[in-house]
Amino acid sequence: MTRARRSRCIRVSIGIYRSGEAVWDADSVYLKRGVDGRGSASITTDTTPPALVREARWQLPAQLGRDYAKVSGDFNPIHLHALTAKAFDFPRAIAHGMWTLGRMLAALQPSKQLDTANVRGDFKSPIFLPAETTLWTAALSATGRDFEVRDLTGERHHLRGRFEWELP
């Protein structure tokens, strides 16, 4: 007899404040690996993907997860070492999704100060460390870009989303 796996998710809301004023609000949902997918909802994005162009190549060292943990305080074992990641069915440590999203934002940040910004990112597959990844983008307008973080070949998608902003 086969037992059905239960999905587990954790919802996290984050707020960053500067001088008592909210400058960043984020909601995250973390899913448990290995869920069989029965009864799960499917999230779809635009059916016609934009024509993306490769803009950057990043080398991610094996200690990236440990470095990010020291800054963020997130010492999740799947990001720290291959040995601790293997305990959670990952062959090696994986890059933190928030690091990947932050790295992409840093690469696409306009040189002018932003009035407001919105970012949506869909995490598609883990980045096993060490790794080389590529950033692909397409301009939506003067104040918006679609983006993807892919493997070195450009075939495996790790992160896909949209970054839009307004200038003062």
- pTM score > 0.85 for this model? no
Least confident of 37-41, 54-58, 130-134: 37-41
| Residue 116 belongs to some domain of the structure | yes
Domain assignment of residue 130, given as a range: 50-166
| Residue 156 belongs to some domain of the structure | yes
Q: What is the CATH number of the domain that holds 151?
A: 3.10.129.10
Q: DSSP string of 1-24?
A: -PPPPPP-EEEEEEEEEETTEEEE
| Residue 4 belongs to some domain of the structure | no
- pLDDT band of residue 38 (cuts 50, 70, 90) is very low
Which structure tokens are listed for 46?
Answer: 């635009």
Share of the chain above pLDDT 70, in %: 77
pLDDT tens digits, 105-124:
999 999 888 888 899 999 99
| Residue 126 belongs to some domain of the structure | yes
Structurally, how many domains does the chain consist of? Answer: 1
For the segment 27-46, the average pLDDT, to the nearest whole number, is 52
Q: Which 8-state DSSP code applies to residue 143?
A: T
Instruction: Kindly report the backbone phi and psi dihedral angles of residue 101, in degrees, each rounded to the nearest multiple of 5, phi listed first.
Output: -65, -45
pLDDT at 56 over 70: yes
| Residue 42 belongs to some domain of the structure | no
Burial 65-85 (b: 16+ CB within 10 A, else e): beebbeeeeeebbbbbbeebb
| Residue 90 belongs to some domain of the structure | yes
